[in-house]
Every structure is written in C-alpha cells, then in structure tokens.
Amino acid sequence: MVLLASPILAGCSGVQSALAPAGHEAEEVARLFLVMAVGAGVIWTLVMAAAIYATRIRPEPHEEHIGRKLILWGGVAFPVVVLAGLLIYGLGMMSELRRPGEGLRIDVSGEQFWWRVTYRPKDGAEARSANEVRIPVGERVEFALTSPDVIHSFWIPALGGKVDMIPGRENRLVLQAERPGTYRGVCAEFCGASHALMAFPVVAMAKPDFEAWLAAQARPAAQAVETARGGELFRLNGCGACHAVAGTDAKGEVGPDLTRFGERATVGAGLLPNTAENVIRFIMETDTLKPRAKMPAYPNLPHADLAAIAAYLGSLK
Ligand code: CUA
C-alpha cells in the first residue's frame, strides 16, 4: 500500500503543491486537508465494517429497536457532531487566515491571459511588473486582487488558498512565505481559451535582498548600446503601443509591462523559460502558443530583427 502510494504522493511535492506548504497559510490549509482526509478514512472504514457485518456476518433480520437506535446515533447524532466539529475547526482558522498584512501590498490583476503586478510598499516608490511575483520571506504580504473583464482565480498552492479575481471588486489575500525559494502560481478559474496557459513564478527572497530588489525597481531599466538596435525595432514595430518600458516612450497599458523583462524567469506568463529563442518564438507564434491572447503574432518579421528585439528585451534588467 505504502509502495503503491509513494509514486502518487511524490507528485504532491514540488513548486506547485498544496501538500508541500512553504508558508503559514498553506500549512493551515494542508492541516485542514489532513484532518478531513484522515477523518473521512476512519468514517469510511466504519461504514464499510457496518456494511460487511450487515451483509456477510449477520445478514439475518435484527430487532427493530436496535435498527432505530443505529439510525438515531449513527445517522443523525454522529454526522451532526462530526460536521459541527469540522465547521468550528474550519471557522476557527479563518480569523488567522484573515489577519491583515504588514505593510507591503501587491496589486495583481488577472488579464487574458497574464498577470498585471504593481508593488505598493508602505514607504518607497511603487513599481510595476508582470507575470512574476516577488515577496520577502517571513512577512505577511497583502495581495489586492481584481480583474478588468472575466473572472480569474489567484492561486499559489505552496503558499495558501486560492482567491477569485472578480471584475469590479477587490479581494484581499494575505500570504507569508516561510522559506526562500521559487514557487509556482496558477489561474484556478476557467477564464478563456488560454486559461491553462497563465501561470507565474513566485520568488520568495530574504528580506534585505527583496528590499534591495524593490528599491532598484524605481529606476528605469538599463539601456545598453549593444541592444539599441533592438530597442529601435521595438519602437518602430509599435510594440510600445501595448507594452510599457519605463524610461522610454513605450507606455502601452494593454499588455504586460516589460521594464525588467530580462530578469524574469519565463516568457508568456509561465509558459516558456525566458531565453532569446523562446522570446522569438513567442513573438512569431503568439496565436498558437497562447490562443485568443490579445497580442497578434508577427510571423513575417525578419529573423535578424526578431533576434535584435529579443536581445533588447533580455537586456532589460
Ligand atoms: Cu485566468 Cu483562468
């Protein structure tokens, strides 16, 4: 049994598992799951034992008052006590899970099909990003979650429960990572053709590292001479109509902010590793890599131009 279960359970570890909690909230949720799973196992065993007893061991008719007692205790009293106990246990966790954050707020908007991220530190400049979330370890970070059009659901299984992103509403979620690492967040509500293709890395950093990183976000990304040609092509092809790169005249709001694209781990919202080849591929085949995304594909751009644009984007750090 253990041998049979081990390969299955091995699939529960890793960067995107609610059963491998790396944060306080996720631990609470995992504990609730464990309590319910063990409880359900015990009850299932009791019910099976009763069924075997009644059909195999003593199949003959029983006295009526015994049957009535069984229904009263086993069918009414027992479920009422167990379900009330579970409800009280679950409600007791809620106050803990709803404690407010400690200063850093991160606004995340679910888009079709990517994530708009704005860091709002208590003191210090706000910073824009996309498709990646960075948080300091050991701090309760408050997420303000919304969406402009359809419902998405923001879920970082290793750090906590999922919360819907609903147009016209702002939902709050507080998460705290207990140890540094990279986790994976996903969209957990069907939001359109590329619902399964919007994910994001979550990087939990030691607090001093995070603060240095966030402070650096306030200045515009470096513009290197070697990638100036790519920057020019980015401008000439109109990329800036949808994408913003702080410090340049690219100020588009429709698509992901690319100011520090070069330091992100993925391209296309968790879709592919962030390499120059994948950036080129994403620009050429947007429609097949991410069906129904608002960005058109550019299959006819000369390869040299695509390579220059990819080099430019990769240099934005
Ligand atoms: Cu966004 Cu599913």
- Condensed to tens digits (0 to 9), the pLDDT of residues 181-233 reads 999 999 999 999 999 999 999 999 999 999 999 998 888 877 778 889 999 99
Same domain assignment for residues 287 and 212:
no
pLDDT at 8: 55
pLDDT, residue 10, reads: 55
Q: Classify burial at 187, counting beta carbons within 10 Å of its beta carbon; exposed 0-12, middle 13-18, buried 19 or more.
A: buried
**Residue at which a domain ends, from 182, 217, 252:** 217
Higher-confidence residue of 152 and 50: namely 152
Instruction: Provide the number of structural domains found in the chain.
Output: 3
pTM for the structure as a whole: 0.87
Residues 83 and 122 in one domain: no
Sign of CA dihedral 18, 127, 215, 270: positive
The residue to which tokens 């379900």 are assigned: 83
Alpha helices per DSSP H over 178-269: 207-217, 228-236
* pLDDT of 1 higher than 70: no
Q: Tell me: do 115 and 77 sit in the same domain.
A: no
| Ligand 1 center–CA 198 separation, angstroms | 6
114 and 175 in a single domain? The answer is: yes
Closest ligand 1 atom to the C-alpha of 196?
Answer: 2
* pLDDT at site 244: 95
**Residue nearest atom 1 in ligand 1 by C-alpha distance:** 152
Distance CA 287, CA 281 (A): 11
Q: Is the pLDDT of residue 265 over 80?
A: yes
The C-alpha atoms of residue 138 and residue 177 are separated, in whole angstroms, by 6
**Do 212 and 119 share a structural domain?**
yes
Flag whether 5 is in a domain: no
E strands of 121-168, at which residues? 127-130, 133-136, 141-146, 152-155, 163-165
Q: Which residue has the higher pLDDT, 219 or 161?
A: 161
Ligand 1 within 6 A of CB of 187: yes
Pair (119, 180) in one structural domain: yes
- Which of the listed residues 45, 64, 97 is the one where a domain comes to its end? 97
- 2 lies in some domain: no
For 129, the 3-state DSSP assignment is: strand
CB 119 within 8 A of CB 217: yes
CA of 113 to the centre of ligand 1 (A): 7
Is residue 100 over pLDDT 90? no
Is the same domain home to 245 and 272? yes
Element (H, E) at 174: strand 171-175
Which secondary-structure segment (H or E) carries 172? strand 171-175
Model pLDDT, residue 102: 81
- The half-sphere exposure of 264 on its side-chain side, counting CA atoms within 13 A, is 33
User: Which of 37, 63, 97 is a domain's end point?
Assistant: 97
Q: State whether the beta carbon of 230 lies less than 6 angstroms from ligand 1.
A: no
Q: Is the pLDDT of residue 5 over 60?
A: no
Question: Which of 161-170, 180-189, 217-226, 258-267 has the weakest average pLDDT?
Answer: 217-226
* Cβ of 190 below 6 Å from ligand 1: yes
**The pLDDT of residue 94:** 82
pLDDT over threshold 70, residue 158:
yes
Same domain, 207 and 169: yes
Q: Is residue 177 part of a domain?
A: yes
Query: Are 233 and 301 members of one domain?
Result: yes
Q: Per mean pLDDT, which range of 110-119, 170-179, 215-224 is the poorest?
A: 215-224
CATH number for the domain spanning 176: value is: 2.60.40.420
Residue 203's pLDDT is what? Answer: 96
Could you tell me if residue 171 is inside a domain?
A: yes
Based on the domain organization, do 54 and 78 belong to the same domain? yes
C-alpha–C-alpha distance, residues 268 and 266, integer Å: 7
Question: Range of 39's domain?
Answer: 25-97
Same domain? 210 vs 110: yes
Atom of ligand 1 nearest to the CA of 113: 1
Q: What is the mean pLDDT of the chain?
A: 91
- 17 part of a folded domain: no
Instruction: Tell me: pLDDT of 66 over 90.
Output: no
Atom number of ligand 1 nearest to Cα 150: 1
Q: How far is CA 189 from CA 25, 31, 183, 196, 297, in A?
A: 20, 24, 19, 9, 26
Instruction: Report yes or no on 240 lying in a domain.
Output: yes
Give the ligand 1 atom nearest the CA of 195: 2
Edge-to-edge strands, sheet with 133-136: 133-136, 199-205, 181-187, 152-155, 163-165
Residue 95 above 70 pLDDT?
yes
Same domain, 133 and 158: yes
Is 274 among the domain residues? yes
| In contact, 279 and 267? CB cutoff 8 Å | yes
Q: Which pLDDT does position 9 carry in this prediction?
A: 56
Rounded CA separation 160/203 (Å): 15
Q: Which residue has the higher pLDDT, 156 or 28?
A: 156
